């Protein structure tokens, strides 16, 4: 008997015995459940569980009667589950790319603001971007004990 792991490598499975677990990456199924679902669907469920924002085990997804496009995961095809997993991963990557673009825009704004502060008479101004509550913010440190008052612009 062979099992299909979530990284799509074929490996020799241990000899079946009562209560054996079939491991698929982070998740696992009972032997009977894995046999009932089949290797492809088991693999697809593992990939889907890993693609979720809060990684879930396939067994937990099935026990919660999770649905995919209105159909129970147990009744969905392996291809549909894998497609949904790929879409989740692509959506997460697109969001990360958008966050990177936003962070770069904030960095440019921080550099422009720093230059403006230095031209206005605050040569030691320190600016830093931080993220609080999901929003980007800029913190500014000015030397209040310096020879000049904080700049006004």
Instruction: From 76, 108, 132, give the residue that closes a domain.
Output: 76
Residue 133 lies in a domain: yes
User: Given this model, what pLDDT does residue 149 score?
Assistant: 57
- 61 with 102, same domain: the answer is no
Q: Is the pTM of this model over 0.85?
A: no
For residues 40 and 70, state if they share a domain: yes
Over its C-alpha atoms, the chain yields an Rg (Å, rounded) of 26
Say if 150 falls within a structural domain. Answer: no
Do the domain assignments include residue 17?
A: yes
Same domain? 65 vs 111: no
In a shared domain, residues 67 and 119: no
Q: What is the pLDDT of residue 100?
A: 73
Residue-level pLDDT, tens digit, the chain, 153 residues = 445 455 444 444 444 444 444 444 445 666 777 778 888 888 888 888 888 877 777 878 888 888 888 888 888 899 999 999 899 888 888 777 667 778 888 888 889 998 988 888 888 888 988 888 778 888 888 877 665 555 565
Domain containing residue 108: 97-141
Residue 19 has a pLDDT of 45
What backbone torsions phi and psi does residue 9 show, to the nearest 5 degrees?
-100, 140
Residues 25 and 62 in one domain: yes
Where b means 16+ CB within 10 Å and e means fewer, 8-40 reads eeeeebeeeeeeeebbbbebbbebebbeebebe
Q: Do residues 118 and 125 lie in contact, with contact meaning Cβ atoms separated by under 8 Å?
A: yes
């Amino acid at each position: 008997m062979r099992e299909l792991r979530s990284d799509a490598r074929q490996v020799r499975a241990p000899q079946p015995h009562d209560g054996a677990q079939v491991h698929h990456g982070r998740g696992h199924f009972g032997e009977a459940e894995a046999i009932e679902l089949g290797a492809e669907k088991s693999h697809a469920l593992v990939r889907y569980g890993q693609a979720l924002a809060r990684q879930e085990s396939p067994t937990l997804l099935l026990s919660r009667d999770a649905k995919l496009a209105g159909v129970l995961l147990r009744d969905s095809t392996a291809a549909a589950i894998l497609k949904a997993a790929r879409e989740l991963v692509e959506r997460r990557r697109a969001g990360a790319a958008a966050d990177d673009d936003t962070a770069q825009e904030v960095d440019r704004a921080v550099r422009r603001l720093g230059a403006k502060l230095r031209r206005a008479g605050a040569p030691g101004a320190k600016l830093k971007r931080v993220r609080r509550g999901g929003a980007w913010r800029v913190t500014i440190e000015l030397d209040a004990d310096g020879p000049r008052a904080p700049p006004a612009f």
